[in-house]
């Protein structure tokens, strides 16, 4: 897939892609805050959903919490060397 | 069994035995035709009750056909077809026969209207699933297969015990809504058996233990049948069981936590089966029409996208020989089609709009919303973020992108790509035209997945999950480790307790030995001596007497009979001549 290769291995294009990614995220968060008001969307089931860009914030928080908590659990308790069950 | 009812499962189970007698193109044709005809049979089935057999005073129903069993039968038959196409290049009849039997048994369990036939088909599924693990023919797979077998035998016994109790309570074996028996031992035992099959923690460690050890093609079948048959049984019998709401939600997060730590590609995907089945179990617990529809719909789309993901990981395993993320990287250059098709599955499981997971998972989450269960709603949404994080970002990143380790594995054989392409097409088709799926769900569907709010919310959730992933990428680097799961208890915990058990066993053994000595020496040996004396005095004397008599008789006979054949012949001829003479002249 030369298209991907071209974009991933060229630092200039990669930087441009990152910029697109960040602006896409900004657009998403913005539209999440605006779209329900513009389209008179159905009322949310919970009041917290009406917080502007709720799902975006929750997505980011979820991701960070999942990674950090899992890694912590792993380090403190769950992770063992690969040959743990063979030894 | 009349002509209007041909059991689709039976077609697979019996038809599978034709394969060893075929070769080349004919074999490949039958490998596709068998599941295709099972699918056609399922599609042509009309709701009703078929295949009723009377057995020891019980009515066994092999064909309970209703909307719930039909929708599961469609996807089981379809998956068997896709799995067989994926396995077309494999030159191992045993695997094909076992896989087809596994699919047939799953259909059998789906159409079973009573506990006994459900039990029998579940056991067939257990045996065939174990064989698919064993047929990888490595020592690790043999060990994992045994662990799988032991756990499922336990589950099978729970089902059997529950079934017997249920029968003694009701006098019937009919499998239906179990809520009238809530709290009874039968209710709990049968629920336990289904939960074990659905891989609900802490009973679910067998799944990530065994599935990654199966053959590359066999794992595709494994992902679909056992857990989703259990989900089907839960929908059938345990809708609205409150504990399942919490258990399911916890399960959805549990799989996600383990997936962070996991290094084996297929084991990571296996943990996400647990996570996704969590949504279904939660939907069953919620018990509303929307929730049960959601559980069935999510099972349907899950089977297809999870098979696709396992096909992708299996293709990488087969072509590169690698299974650990820490060894992979840079494969996108040589396996672009595999990457693209894998990503369709990844988008589907992550519930990206226009892919199948979006239209099914949202039913369960919305059902939690409609029931005003805020905590469940938040937990399930968090697990959605985790799903995208691992299956949509971490796994493809480390498998196909990441650090280029100079691997130049090529694309898999065409049949594998075709199977992946068909599964991907199904994922997109359901995502774009959800009514294709909704129209077959058990209850009428009044749910619109594509609302402006829902679409932007989902995209926001997924987009910012991706942001979190890239920000914390360094922390996610796979490490060569294994994570402790509840299988520790029977893999290490039991062996740690072995000396203790041994001591107890030794004591028991000496006790049994003493009893043995007493019983043997005092009674058995004495009785044996008496018998020997009887044998020597009476029986031997009789035998000697009979022998002597026979000898005397035969000596006497020898003196009267010369034993020369010519004399006998002469005498016979003389006799015949005398008879003729008498006949002619004697009148």
pLDDT of residue B1: 47
User: Residue B490: inside a domain, yes or no?
Assistant: no
Q: Would you state the pLDDT for residue A10?
A: 86
Using pLDDT thresholds of 50, 70 and 90, give the confidence band for residue B562: low
Least confident stretch, B256-265, B489-498, B561-570: B561-570
All residues of chain A having their beta carbon less than 8 Å from the beta carbon of residue B288 are none
Prediction pTM value: 0.87
Averaged pLDDT for residues A66-87: 91
Confidence at B119, pLDDT banded by 50, 70, 90: very high
Per-residue model confidence as pLDDT tens digits over B321-352: 999 999 998 899 999 999 999 999 999 999 99
Closest by Cβ to A42, choosing from B260, B453, B459: B453
Q: Residue-wise over A1-31: b if at least 16 C-beta within 10 A, else e?
A: beeeeeebeeeeeeeeeeeeeeeebeebbeb
Tell me the shortest Cα–Cα distance from A76 to chain B, in angstroms.
11
> What are the pLDDT digits (tens) for B102-113?
999 999 999 999
Percent of chain B with pLDDT over 90: 77
One domain, residues B474 and B514:
no
The answer, yes or no, to whether residue B556 has pLDDT greater than 80, is: no
Which residue, B13, B266, B308, is CA-closest to B133?
A: B266
Report CA-CA distances (Å) from B455 to A40, B52, B358, B394, B449: 14, 47, 9, 23, 8
Same domain, B282 and B143: no
Average pLDDT over residues B168-191: 95
Mean pLDDT within B142-157? 95
Contact A45 B372 (CB under 8 A): yes
Pairwise CA distance, residues B305 & B515, whole Å: 61
In this structure, are B169 and B93 located in the same domain? yes
Q: Which domain holds residue B545?
A: 497-582
- List the single residue in A55, A78, A82 with the smallest CB-CB distance to B261: A78
| Inter-CA distances, B294 with B291, B371, B374, Å | 5, 14, 18
Q: Kindly report, residue by residue over B293-314, the tens digit of the pLDDT.
A: 999 999 999 999 999 999 999 9
Query: In this model, does residue B392 exceed pLDDT 70?
Result: yes
Confidence of residue B561 (pLDDT cuts 50, 70, 90): low
Q: How far is CA B438 from CA B21, B161, B304, B364, B449, in A?
A: 41, 36, 16, 13, 11
| Cβ B14 vs Cβ B31: under 8 Å | no
C-alpha closest to that of B273 among B212, B189, B193: B212
How far, in Å, CA of A84 to CA of B278, rounded?
Answer: 28
State how far the Cα of B134 lies from the Cα of B142, in Å rounded to an integer: 5
Cβ pair B283, B231 in contact under 8 A: no
Query: What DSSP string runs through B498-529?
Result: HHHHHHHHHHHHHHHHHHHHHIIIIIIHHHHH
Residues B137 and B197 in one domain: yes
| Chain A CB contacts of B382 below 8 Å | 58, 62, 65-66
**What is the chain B residue with the closest CA to A36?**
B453
Domain final residue, candidates B418, B448, B481: B481
Inspect the interface and report whether the beta carbons of B468 and A70 lie closer than 8 Å. Answer: no
Q: Do B144 and B112 fall within a single domain?
A: yes
Residue B41: predicted pLDDT: 96
Does the structure show a pLDDT above 50 at B479?
yes
Statement to judge: residues B251 and B204 lie in one domain: no
CB nearest to B256's CB, from A54, A66, A81: A66
Q: Do B453 and A41 touch (CB under 8 A)?
A: yes
Residue spans of the domains in chain A: they are 2-78
Residues in B closer than 8 angstroms to A78, CB to CB, are: 258, 261, 483-485
Instruction: Give yes or no for residue B563 having a pLDDT over 90.
Output: no
Q: Which of B21-25, B145-149, B412-416, B557-561 has the lowest mean pLDDT?
A: B557-561
Count, residues in chain A: 87
Contacts of A20 in chain B (CB under 8 A): none
Taking the C-alpha atoms of residue B340 and residue B345, their distance in angstroms, rounded to an integer, is 9
Query: Given pLDDT bands bounded at 50, 70 and 90, which one contains residue B520?
Result: confident
Residue B263 placed within a domain: yes
* pLDDT, tens digit (0-9, with 9 covering 90-100), for B435-453: 999 999 999 999 999 998 8
Instruction: Say whether the peptide bond before residue B456 is cis (omega within 30 degrees of 0).
Output: no
Which residues of B390-485 form beta strands (DSSP E)? 481-483
Supply angle C-alpha B125, B131, B136, rounded to 5: 140
Q: What is the pLDDT of residues B11-32, one digit of tens each?
A: 999 999 999 999 999 999 999 9
Mean pLDDT, residues B421-433: 98
Classified as helix, coil or strand, B582 is helix
Nearest to B208 by CA among B159, B165, B163, B261: B261
The pLDDT-based confidence of B564 (bands split at 50, 70, 90) is: low
The number of CA neighbours under 13 Å toward the Cβ of B456 is: 23
Residues B11 and B87 in one domain: yes
Contacts of B586 (CB under 8 A, 6+ apart): none
> pLDDT tens, B352-376?
999 999 999 999 999 999 999 999 9
CA atoms within 13 A on the CB side of B156: 19
Report the SS3 class of residue B33. Answer: helix
In a domain, B227, yes or no: no
Query: Looking at per-residue confidence, does B56 or B300 come out higher?
Result: B300
The reply to whether B210 and B354 lie within a common domain is: no
**Interchain CB distance below 8 Å, B463 and A62:** no
pLDDT digits (tens, 9 = 90+) for B537-554: 888 888 888 888 989 888
Per-residue pLDDT at A1 exceeds 60: no
Residue B232 lies in a domain: no
Residue B372 domain-assigned?
yes
* CB within 8 Å: A24 and B464: no
C-alpha pair distances (Å), B247 with each of A69, B191, B202, B542: 20, 13, 10, 77
Distance, C-alpha B480 to centroid of its chain: 29
Residue B253 falls inside a structural domain = yes
Q: Do B460 and A36 touch (CB under 8 A)?
A: no
* B549 and B415 fall within a common domain: no
Q: Does residue A30 belong to the interface with chain B, where contact is any CB pair within 8 Å?
A: no
Beta-bridge partner residues of B482: A80
Across chain B, mean pLDDT equals 93
State yes or no: pLDDT of B197 exceeds 70. yes
How many folded domains does chain B comprise?
3
């Amino acid at each position: 897939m030369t298209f991907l290769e071209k974009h991933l291995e060229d630092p200039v294009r990669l930087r441009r892609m990152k910029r697109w990614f960040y602006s896409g995220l900004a657009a998403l968060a913005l539209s999440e805050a605006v779209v329900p008001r513009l389209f008179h969307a159905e009322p949310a089931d919970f009041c917290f959903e009406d917080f502007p860009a709720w799902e975006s914030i929750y997505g980011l928080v979820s991701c960070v919490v999942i990674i950090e908590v899992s890694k912590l659990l792993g380090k403190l308790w769950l992770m063992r060397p690969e040959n743990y069950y063979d030894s | 069994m009349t002509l209007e009812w041909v059991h689709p499962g039976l077609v697979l189970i019996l038809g599978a035995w034709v394969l060893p007698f075929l070769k080349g193109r004919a074999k490949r044709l039958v490998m596709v035709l068998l599941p295709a005809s099972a699918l056609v049979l399922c599609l042509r089935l009309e709701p009703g009750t078929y295949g009723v057999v009377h057995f020891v005073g019980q009515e066994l129903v092999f064909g309970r056909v209703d909307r719930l069993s039909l929708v599961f039968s469609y996807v089981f038959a379809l998956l068997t077809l896709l799995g067989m196409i994926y396995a077309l290049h494999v030159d191992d009849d045993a695997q094909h026969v076992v896989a087809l039997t596994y699919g047939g048994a799953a259909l059998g369990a789906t159409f079973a209207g009573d506990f006994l036939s459900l039990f029998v088909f579940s056991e067939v599924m257990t045996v065939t699933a174990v064989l698919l693990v064993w047929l990888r023919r490595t020592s690790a797979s043999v060990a994992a297969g045994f662990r799988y077998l032991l756990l499922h035998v336990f589950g099978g016994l729970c089902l059997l015990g529950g079934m017997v109790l249920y029968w003694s309570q009701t006098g019937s074996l009919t499998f239906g809504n179990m809520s009238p028996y809530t709290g009874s031992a039968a209710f709990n035992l049968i629920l336990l058996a289904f939960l074990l099959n659905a891989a609900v923690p802490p009973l679910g460690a067998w799944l990530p233990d065994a599935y990654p050890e199966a053959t590359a093609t066999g794992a595709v079948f494994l992902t679909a049948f056992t857990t989703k048959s259990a989900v089907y049984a839960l929908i059938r019998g345990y809708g609205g069981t409150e504990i399942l709401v919490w258990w399911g939600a916890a399960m959805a997060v549990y799989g996600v936590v383990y997936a962070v730590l996991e290094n084996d590609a297929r084991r990571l995907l296996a943990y996400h089966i647990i996570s996704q089945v969590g949504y279904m179990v939660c939907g069953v617990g919620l018990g509303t029409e929307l929730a049960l529809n959601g559980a069935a719909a999510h099972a349907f789309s899950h089977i297809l996208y999870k098979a696709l993901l396992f096909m992708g990981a299996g293709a990488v395993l087969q072509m590169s020989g690698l299974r650990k993320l820490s060894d992979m990287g840079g494969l996108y250059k040589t396996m672009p089609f595999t990457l693209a098709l894998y990503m369709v599955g990844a988008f589907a499981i992550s519930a990206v709009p226009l892919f199948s997971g979006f239209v099914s998972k949202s039913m369960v989450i919305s059902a939690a919303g409609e029931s005003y269960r805020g905590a469940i709603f938040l937990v399930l949404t968090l697990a959605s973020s985790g799903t995208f994080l691992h299956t949509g970002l971490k796994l493809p990143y480390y498998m196909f992108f990441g650090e280029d380790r100079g691997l130049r594995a090529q694309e898999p054989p065409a049949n594998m790509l075709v199977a992946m392409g068909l599964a991907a097409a199904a994922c997109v088709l359901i995502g774009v035209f959800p009514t294709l799926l909704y129209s077959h769900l058990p209850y009428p569907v009044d749910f619109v997945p594509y609302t402006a709010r829902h679409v932007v919310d989902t995209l926001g959730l997924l987009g910012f999950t991706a942001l979190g992933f890239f920000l914390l990428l360094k922390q996610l680097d796979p490490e060569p480790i294994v994570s402790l799961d509840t299988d520790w208890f029977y893999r290490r915990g039991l062996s740690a307790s072995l000396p203790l058990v041994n001591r107890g066993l030794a004591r028991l053994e000496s006790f049994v030995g003493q009893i043995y000595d007493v019983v043997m020496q005092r009674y058995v040996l004495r009785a044996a001596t008496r018998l020997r004396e009887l044998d020597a005095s009476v029986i031997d004397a009789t035998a000697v007497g009979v022998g002597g008599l026979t000898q005397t008789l035969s000596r006497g006979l020898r003196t009267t009979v010369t034993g020369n054949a010519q004399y006998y012949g002469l005498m016979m001829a003389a006799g015949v001549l005398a008879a003729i003479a008498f006949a002619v002249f004697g009148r």
